[in-house]
Homo-oligomer: A and B are copies of this chain.
Amino acid sequence: MKNIPDATVKRLSLYYRILQPLSIQGTHEISSKNLASLLAINPAQVRKDLSYFGTFGKRGAGYNVSQLVAKIAEILGISEERKVIIVGAGNLGSALAAYHGFEVFGFKVCALFDTDTHKTGKKIKGIPCYNIKELIQFVKNEKIKMAVIAVPAQFAQQIASVIVSSNIKAILNFAPVRINIPPDVKVNNVDLALELKSLSYFLKNI
């Protein structure tokens, strides 16, 4: 497979989110123009993104919605449910545990991990919380493939190392530091303060 831009993969998610409800409510076909206008992007962008993975459209008509939904689900690997663990059961971690956005889109939060003995051994928002010492075994038993880091910045690196040694290859990092990981592990960073700062810059320059 060719090198697909990261931006393309993220847009596929957006397409899916638009198309899935349309498919359920019975919309048959959609043109790149219509889909693009729903996302305020360029129609050629939509066509090019899809063309990386094959040719799904009908000239003169557009794309079959339900076919396209199935195809994107397959491309993104969200046909089956993905199990996720969250490390850090503080404010952010437990909010994420309870966040329904994840399950709606096919991700199941299986467990929280923390070091605080006031939290471990209990359920938080319905999700069991374990000690971080149990992480590696749990990941192995439950065949977990994805982890979310929601610990304070100063612990992020050591947690990342534990996660990597558990053989997880995909990490969503909320800690406001860049973490060092082997090249075969993918990290997506969600950096809240950074987003606010970039807004702040915008405000300064209106």
Contact = CB atoms under 8 A, between A and B. Distances in A.
A203 B104 contact: no
Interface stretch (A23-31, A60-68, A76-84, A114-122): A76-84
Nearest to A175: B101
Interface of A: 1, 6, 9-10, 12-14, 16-17, 39-40, 75-78, 82, 84, 91-92, 94-96, 98-99, 101-102, 104-105, 107, 125, 145-146, 169-172, 176-178, 180, 184, 186, 188, 190-206
Contacts of A107: 193, 196, 200
Given A186-B203, A188-B195, A190-B195, 18 more contacts: A12-B201, A13-B191, A13-B194, A16-B197, A17-B176, A75-B201, A76-B197, A77-B204, A82-B203, A91-B94, A94-B95, A96-B192, A107-B193, A145-B203, A170-B200, A170-B202, A170-B203, A190-B192
Contacts of A180: 40
Contacts of A186: 199, 202-203
23 contacts: A1-B205, A6-B198, A9-B198, A9-B201, A10-B194, A10-B197, A40-B178, A76-B197, A82-B196, A82-B203, A91-B94, A91-B98, A94-B95, A101-B193, A102-B192, A107-B193, A145-B203, A169-B206, A170-B203, A172-B195, A172-B196, A172-B199, A184-B206
A200 B76 contact: yes
A26 to B, nearest CB: 19
Contacts of A84: 196
Contacts of A196: 82, 84, 102, 105, 107, 146, 172
A156 to B, nearest CB: 12
A140 B39 CA distance: 31
B146 A203 contact: yes
